[in-house]
Amino acid sequence: MTFSRRRFLQRSAIATSTLIAIPAVFRSGALAAENPITVGSLHDQSGPIGTSGTPMVYALQLAVDEINAAGGLLGRPLKVIHYDTQSNIQLYSQYAQQLAVKDKVDVVHGGITSASREAIRPTFDRFKVLYFYNTLYEGGVCDRNTFCTGTTPAQTVEKLVPSAMKKSGKKAYIIAADYNYGQITAKWMTKYCKDNGGEILSTDFFPLDVTNFGSTISKIQAAKPDLILSALVGGNHTAFYRQWTAAGMKSKIPIASTTFGLVNEPSTLDAAESDGVIGAYGYFEELTTPASKSFVEKIKKAHPDSPYISELASCTYEGVMLWAEGVKKAGSIDRMKVIEALESGLVFDGPSGKVSLDKPTHHTVRNAFLAEVKDRKWSVLETYTDAKPADTASVCDLVKNPTDTKQYIINL
């Protein structure tokens, strides 16, 4: 066996590079072995609200994967501990306890309905676990341990009602689901309608299992409004849009809604039934900014069968990213230090644009968008930059009362 000089050089080069690489392999092994930062996730992936929760879980996972790919936080990787709460409030309470006491997570992102949030928020207050609620809701939560990244009525309904009134006329008829969300949203609709010189002819609430809207449709016709404001919720209430169209009312009185589209309505209703419905949210899948496009692409690539990616998913992504910015800025995972860092006016550029945390309310200042359904897709008409959570700000000041933990019912 003869050694040529060339071969010797080649082999020694390989050997050297392997030797140099070994510590790197060890090091990355060490990163994984080092105790990870844990992110709790409580979202419904099954049951009636599962369609809303599923894209939220995808968005949370995407944010965590991106942070890990960039080297984690504070040199530690992130680990998600996820529980499917199955649209069941009791499971929310159980899993919240488990996340706080047994899993000892560093932060929790989760909760979809207001009922679920109010079920788990006290648990995280008590066990001092930082909590992010990433859903649009009726506003008013005032709690230093909680950050609400979704939109509130002052950010969306305030834009929706006047622009719909400008298009059609000043007399509105409100139809809403008969539970806390519908009741409170109807109040906001009334307020913004009156603020803009309009008039509410009637407000009708519907139990969630109402399926026949015949008499309501007649009643609306008798009242002759210029505009319908809808906060109907769920599968049974979708029947309203079908029966409304079947009666030939679709082209006569326009509809503006605060809920339409959250469970995929534009793609499940026929174009004739949904065209022209106006909605306002903090995010639409159809936004054409590069950040939004790449966000949607990444989720659809990982989950081709993902339901519509609404504000719920984008706020979850932005919520996780804002929290990560807070941890980076604090240089620690300690809860109070992270809260203080988050309160320092943190900003993150997300799929919906610039999102910044408002110190006195722990809500976000973010963009709002007005859109109209066209050919089974939302077409974005208007962008309102830096919409403020003015409703919550009118009742909540965590700078003055840092120990507050209430949800205020805002008097209108």
Partner 1 sequence: MAIYVILALDVLNGISSLFLLCLGLAIIFGMMKIINLAHGEFIMLGAYATVISANAGVNIWIAMLIIAPLFVGIVGLVIERCLIRFLYGRLVDSMLATWGLSLLIIGIITTIYGNTQQGVPTPLGGFSIGSYQSSYYTLFLALMAAVMMAIIYGVMRYTRFGLVARATMQNPAMAATLGVNPARVYMSTFALGAAVTGLAGGLLAPVSGITPVMGGAYVAKAFMTVVGGGAAILSGTLSAASLFGSVNQIGAYFTTPVYGEVIVFTTAIVLIRLLPQGISGRFFKGNL
Residue 69: exposed, middle, or buried by beta-carbon count in 10 A (0-12, 13-18, 19+)? exposed
Within residues 131-150, the interface with partner 1 by CB under 8 A covers none
Residue matched to tokens 């077409």: 379
Hey, which residues between 27 and 46 contact partner 1 (CB under 8 A)?
46
How many positions of this chain bind partner 1 (CB under 8 A)?
46
Residue from the set 195, 199, 270, 382 that interacts with partner 1 by CB under 8 A = 270
Nearest residue (CB) to partner 1, 164 versus 177: 177
Tell me which residues in 293-332 interact with partner 1 (CB under 8 A): 305, 307
CA distances 238 to 210, 242, 276, Å, are 10, 7, 16
Binding characters for partner 1, 45-74, by CB under 8 A (x = yes) = -xxx-xx-----------------------
CB of 301 to partner 1, least distance (A): 19
Given 14, 272, 336, 347, the residue binding partner 1 (CB under 8 A):
272
- Among residues 236 and 289, whose Cβ is nearest to partner 1? 236
Report which DSSP code applies to 72.
-
Among 237, 362, 363, 366, binds partner 1 (CB under 8 A): 237
Q: Is 215 exposed, middle or buried (0-12, 13-18, 19+ CB in 10 A)?
A: exposed
Q: Are 236 and 178 in contact (CB under 8 A)?
A: no
- C-beta of 268 vs 401, nearer to partner 1: 268
Give min distance, CB of 399 to partner 1, in A.
41
Dist CA 386 CA 357 (whole Å)? 11
CB of 378 to partner 1, least distance (A): 16
The DSSP line for 303-351 is -TT-----HHHHHHHHHHHHHHHHHHHHTS--HHHHHHHHTTT-EEEET
Q: What single-letter DSSP state applies at residue 35?
A: P
Indicate whether 235 belongs to the interface with partner 1 (CB under 8 A): yes
Write the binding mask 194 to 213 for partner 1: x where contact by CB under 8 A, - elsewhere. ----------xxxx-xxxx-
CB closer to partner 1 out of 36 and 48: 48
Cβ–Cβ < 8 Å for 284, 138: no
Question: Closest separation between CB of residue 89 and partner 1, Å?
Answer: 16
**Hey, which bits of 134-268 come out as E strands?**
146-148, 171-177, 199-206, 227-231, 255-257
State the minimum distance, in angstroms, from the CB of residue 252 to partner 1. Answer: 7
Q: Given candidates 221, 332, 344, 385, which one binds partner 1 under the rule CB under 8 A?
A: 221
Candidates 65, 118, 125, 178; binder of partner 1 (CB under 8 A) is: 178
3-state class of 260 per DSSP?
coil
218 is a site residue for partner 1 (CB under 8 A): yes
Kindly tell me which residue out of 119, 263, 277, 299 binds partner 1, with binding defined by CB under 8 A: 263
CA-CA distance, 137 to 47, in Å (whole number)? 20
Residues 37 and 75: their CA atoms lie apart, in Å, by 10
Q: How far is the CB of 93 from partner 1 (least distance, A)?
A: 22
CA angle, 187 as apex, 392 and 282 as ends, to 5°? 55
Site for partner 1 contains 219 (CB under 8 A): yes
Contact 389, 139 (CB under 8 A): yes
**Would you say 18 or 268 has its CB closer to partner 1?**
268
Per the document, the length of the chain is 412
Are the C-beta atoms of residues 182 and 231 closer than 8 Å to each other?
yes
Nearer to partner 1, 18 or 212 (CB): 212
Site for partner 1, rule CB under 8 A? 46-48, 50-51, 178, 204-207, 209-212, 214-219, 221-222, 234-239, 242-243, 245-249, 252, 263-265, 268-270, 272-273, 305, 307
